[in-house]
Amino acid sequence: MQRRTFIGAGAAMLAAPWVHAQALPSAPIRIIVGFPPGGGTDVMARVIAEKLTALWQTTVIVENRPGAAGVVAAEYTARQRPDGTTLLMTNISNHAIAPSLYPRIGYSVEKDFTPIMLVGITPNLLICRAGGPARTVQEVVALCRSQPGKITFGSSGAGAAQHLALEMFKLRAGVDALHVPYRGSAPMLTDLVGGQIDFSFETMTSATPQIHGGKAIAIAQTRLHRATSFAEVPTLAESGFPGFDAGTWYGLVGPARMATPLVARMNADLNRIVTMPEVAQRLASFGAEDGGGSAARFAGFISSERIKWARVIKDAHVKVEG
């Protein structure tokens, strides 16, 4: 992983000696994931859980509670005791997009959660199946314009990061396309490589195995700079859409009112984990950058992401049931 990625992490670790005196929960710890196994959020959670199990010398398990693009898992976590035994591997979908998308959402991002640490930000990859209908962004735009509302883009669910990246693309390119939501990335990718849908702005984390296996083609990526692990793939910003920035991010939060010393202990240990060479290498392989730093940094980041995606939802007139 690039060295700049964990500047914040290094700073946070300077405070580590005193926080390690803080007690961790004695009971097993669950990391809740709002998507089925195999998707980007699930993969990130399992990388972290394995290292936390060893570091904390207690059982840290990943528990999948899919539904409504992560909202079901967020609602569940918000109702748990703030003792550190239940954490949420949250992401852009349930913490930045859902509050503006679902009129009756069952939680408040500001009031019902305790930010702990940003794990990483990955690009989404605009992908199609091997042998698919386009190889460049310009070809994708031309295809959408030739068949308005008929070219299909899959996502892991209505309101998911892939869905909103598509909406941003439609706004910027001035095209119409058909969004096809699934219950998670894994079934969506199965249909994409099988030819049932045309494209997806899939998370780099879950798209990478399909690309490396030769089943999918990466056309473009959606952060402002190219991820090191896909340095040959241009960004949307380089492909005619300056300023296009639609990364997917992952981070750990707990229920509201977690004790400050406990949050500091968990934050310090998580910062330690993401700088371990084997973890940094694994995250880098998925394009996950800019993780680490303080809990306050993560809280500020969530706030800025909420503002950004609320604007896209309003401008694109995005509506979903729920």
Q: What is the DSSP string of 36-74?
A: -TTSHHHHHHHHHHHHHHHHHTS-EEEEE---GGGHHHH
Residue at 116: amino acid letter: I
Query: Of 31-45, 71-85, 217-231, 268-282, which range is least confident?
Result: 31-45
Whole-model pTM? 0.84
Both tokens of residue 47? 């990388």
- Residue 22: what pLDDT? 67
Q: Answer whether residue 9 shows pLDDT above 80.
A: no
- How would residue 47 be classed by pLDDT, with cut points 50, 70 and 90? very high
**From CA 303, how far away is CA 251, in angstroms rounded?**
13
- Specify the higher pLDDT residue, 295 or 17: 295
At residue 195, the 3 state secondary structure works out as coil
Q: Which CATH architecture has domain 124-239?
A: 3-Layer(aba) Sandwich (3.40)
At 137, the pLDDT band (50, 70, 90 cuts) reads: very high
| Residue 13: pLDDT over 50 | no
Going by pLDDT thresholds of 50, 70 and 90, the confidence category of residue 21 is low
Query: Which sequence spans correspond to the domains of the chain?
Result: 3-122+247-316, 124-239
Is 102's pLDDT higher than 80? yes
The yes-or-no verdict on residue 229 having pLDDT over 90 is no
Please tell me the predicted confidence (pLDDT) of residue 138.
97
CB 193 within 8 Å of CB 211: no
For residues 235 and 290, give the distance between their C-alpha atoms in angstroms, rounded to a whole number. Answer: 17
Contact 287, 203 (CB under 8 A): no
Whether the predicted pLDDT of 286 surpasses 90: no
Judge if 3-122+247-316 and 124-239 fold alike in CATH terms. Answer: yes
Q: Is the pLDDT of residue 190 over 60?
A: yes
With b for 16 or more beta-carbon neighbours within 10 A and e for fewer, the 277-289 pattern comes to eebbebbbbbbbb
Contact 93, 161 (CB under 8 A): yes
Fold of the CATH domain 3-122+247-316: D-Maltodextrin-Binding Protein; domain 2 (3.40.190)
Q: In sequence order, which residues have a C-beta less than 8 Å from that of residue 208 and are 6 or more positions away?
A: 229, 285, 286, 287
CB neighbours (10 Å) of residue 265?
22
